[in-house]
A and B are shown apart, each in its own frame.
Chain A
C-alpha cells in the first residue's frame, strides 16, 4: 500500500512539475498573446490596443500559472492557432487513433521480441542466436522515419513500424535477462537433475526475469509514442503524432506543449503501473 501511495505521489508531483515547465514554455514562447486579428489593416490604433489588452497574458508569472492551471482544470486546453480548433477537440479526435496504434504495436512488438528471445535462449544454437540478433540489430539501427518510408513504399500498415521499433529493444533486454536467469545455480541444478527444459523455463527462469521485464514494458510505451511521430506523419495516420509534427512545423507551441504533457502523463502512468506490477510479482515470490 505504501509503495502504491509513493508511486502515485511521485507521478502527481512529476506531472505537476511537467505542467509548470509546459506553462513556462507557452508563456515565454515568441508571439504568445499575439493574435492574427492584429494584422487586420482596417483596425485603428484604439481597436488594436483594446484587442491587445483582451489577449494580454498576466504580467505576474504566478497569476499566469494559476490562470493556466484553472483553465486546465476546467478542461480548457487552449486554442490551436495552426489548426484553428480548440486543443481539447483536436486531442479528442486523434488520441483514440494513436492509442489504438500504440496498443496494437506494443502487443505485437512484445510478442515478437519475447518469442525470439525465448527461442534464442532455449534453442542453444549459434545459428538461431546469430539470426535473431542480426534481425534485431538491423531493426535497432534503422530510424523510425526510414522504416515508415519503407512501409509507405511497400504499402504496409504503418502500425507495423512502431512494433518494429519496439521489438529489438524487447528482444535485447529479454534475451539478456533470460540468459542471466538461465545461468543461476538453481537453474543449473534443475537441469542437472534432468527436469524438462520447458518446465525449467516456466518455473525457474521466467519468474526471476519477470519483474525486470515488467519495468521494460513501461519504457516501451514511451518508445511507442516517440515512434508515433514519424510513423503517423509519414504514413498519414491522423493521430497525435501527426498533430505534434504539424504543430512543430507551424510552431504552434500551445498545442505542442499540451500534447507533450498528455503523452508524458500517459508514459508516467504506464511506468508507474509497470513498477507497481513488478513489486507485486516480487512480493508474490517472497
Chain B
C-alpha cells in the first residue's frame, strides 16, 4: 500500500472516529448558545471560537462532520444498490431491455445534476424539522445519483454475461437466481465497491452546495454545508482563521477520499 493512500485512510479513520465521539469530545452541545460571547475568537473554552449566535464552533464542526460523513456513505449505499439493480438487470437481460434502460439513464445523465436536485427538492416541503431536512437531503442524493453508476454496472454485467466462465456455468446447468447469486454478483463486487466509494465525495460536495444555497440541512443542525454558510457574512475587518476550519476539513477529507479510491478504481 502506497504511503499517501495509507495516510489518507488513517486521516479518514481519525476524522470519522472523532465525529462519532462528538458527544465526548465536543465542549458543548451543538445548539447551545453562549450569549455573552457571540462571534468570539479562539480561546481555551472555545478552541475555534463561537459563531454569530454564540454557538461553539468546534462542537458544531464535530457534530457537522458526523452528519456529513455518516450520511454521505448511506446515500452512496442507496445509489449503489439502485445502480446494481437497474444496471445489473439491464446488462443481464440485454437486448431491447438494455437499450430502453440505458436510454433512460442517458436522459437522467443529461439533466445537469444540481438543476435536477433543486427541482426535486422544490417538490418537497422546505419548511421542515432539521432532522427531516437531513433525511430528505441525503435520500434525494441517494435516489438521484444512480445513473452514472448504473451505466458502468450495466456495461460490466454485459461483459461478464458474455465471459467464458459464465458460459461454462450455464453449460453446467446453472441458471436464474443461482447464476446471479453465485457467479455474477461476486464478480460485480469490485465495480460496485468502486462506485460506492466514488459516490461519497460527490455527495459530500453536493450536500455542501445545497446547504449553502439554503436547500439542504436546516438550522440548527450542523453539516459541513450549513457550517460553511457562515462565510456569507465573512468580513475582512473581523476575520478569524477559525472560520475556515470547516472548509479546510472538507477539502482535506474529500482529497483523502480521492487518494484512497485511486487503488479501488485501479
Residues of A within 8 A of B (CB): 10, 13-14, 17-18, 21, 25, 29-30, 137-138, 140-146, 149-150, 153, 222-223, 225-227, 229-230, 233-234, 244-245, 247-249, 251-253, 256-257, 259-260, 263-264, 267-268, 271
Contacts and interface: CB of A to CB of B under 8 A. Distances in A.
Contacts of B232: 149, 234
B165 interface: no
15 contacts: A141-B250, A143-B225, A145-B228, A149-B231, A222-B113, A225-B112, A225-B115, A227-B114, A230-B114, A247-B122, A248-B122, A256-B118, A260-B116, A264-B115, A271-B110
Q: Is the interface of A mostly helix, strand, loop or mixed?
A: helix
Contacts of A137: 255, 258
A141 B8 CA distance: 14
A230 B110 contact: no
Interface of B: 103-104, 106-107, 110-116, 118-119, 121-123, 126, 201, 205, 208-209, 212-215, 225, 228, 231-232, 234, 236, 247, 250-251, 254-255, 258
* Closest CB pairs A-B (n = 5): A145-B212, A141-B254, A248-B118, A143-B208, A225-B112
A146 B228 CA distance: 7
Nearest to B210: A145
A146 B112 contact: no
A226 B118 contact: no
A267 B112 contact: yes
B254 A260 contact: no
A146 B231 contact: yes
Contact of B112 (A140, A249, A263): A263
A140 B214 contact: no
B115 A17 contact: no
Contacts of B214: 249
Nearest to A222: B112
